[in-house]
Amino acid sequence: MPFYDLSPASPFLLGTAGYPSPEILQQAIIASGTEIITVSLRREGAAGGAFRELLQQLNTRVLPNTAGCHTVKEAVTTAHMARELFNTRWIKLEVIAHADTLQPDPFALVEAARILSDDGFQVFPYTTEDLVIGEKLLEAGCQLLMPWGAPIGSGQGLRNIDGLRTMRAWFKDIPLIIDAGIGAPSQAALAMELGFDGILLNTAVAKAGDPVQMASAFQQAIRAGQQAWQAGLMEKRDMAVASTPIFGLAEFGQ
């Protein structure tokens, strides 16, 4: 499914924070095969022009985010600054409510999404798997949803598989991208096997022993999960079912 005006060939979205060096970041982006990278305004400001030059060398689309914002005003102001700096209507909207879990504030999130959508932004909202919040975000003007798998940076994977499966079934025609909590390629593959349209992650690659190799591993796992979903996974069964039919087997005399 398209992410607003882009139908990326790769369902892998990669964050750019916390890498050992700009060179390793660049190599990891290339190894991931991603077409979309997320950038925090705070990160860009700290790194300055060198970081901007690095981004320009890569054939990727920048998705700026409002990381670290806790109020509607803060998120909206940051979004406007990002639009001017990166010359894009895209914004990954984060409005954080809880310091320990980094869970999004559903009320502020919907309000900020409505303000930004009305102002011409194409909003990528970081949300939970709650169906009601999802409906409200779509009503506010969002055209896709980004539910978390687990708290940001936790590496716990998909903590509520049943809830995410229900969300996928409920919003069957809406692009859904798992954002946050993915810590291993196997977890990313599972999300894609559930029918999600993309995976956004950062820490699992940036903090790996070898970020470049890990980026490649995630790229392969995400592709494998996507292909498995498209091919059609077999249904689980309560009992064993023999792969070889009983009828037609040879009978041997005593």
Cβ atoms within 10 Å of 247's Cβ, excluding its own: 4
Catalytic annotation, pick one of 73, 92, 172, 207: 92
Side-chain half-sphere exposure of 34, counting CA atoms within 13 A:
32
59 is in an annotated binding site: no
Cβ atoms within 10 Å of 17's Cβ, excluding its own: 18
d(CA 157, CA 178): 10
Tokens of residue 186, six digits: 């196997």
Which three-class secondary structure state does DSSP give residue 193? helix
188 is in an annotated binding site: no
Buried b (16+ CB within 10 A) or exposed e, 196-210: bbbbbbbbbbbebee
Tokens of residue 251, six digits: 């009978």
Beta bridge partners of 176: 145
180 is in an annotated binding site: yes
65 is in an annotated binding site: no
- Catalytic residue check, 136: no
203 is in an annotated binding site: yes
Q: Active-site residue numbers?
A: 92
The annotation places the binding site at 153, 180-181, 202-203
The annotation places the binding site for 1-deoxy-D-xylulose 5-phosphate at 153, 180-181, 202-203
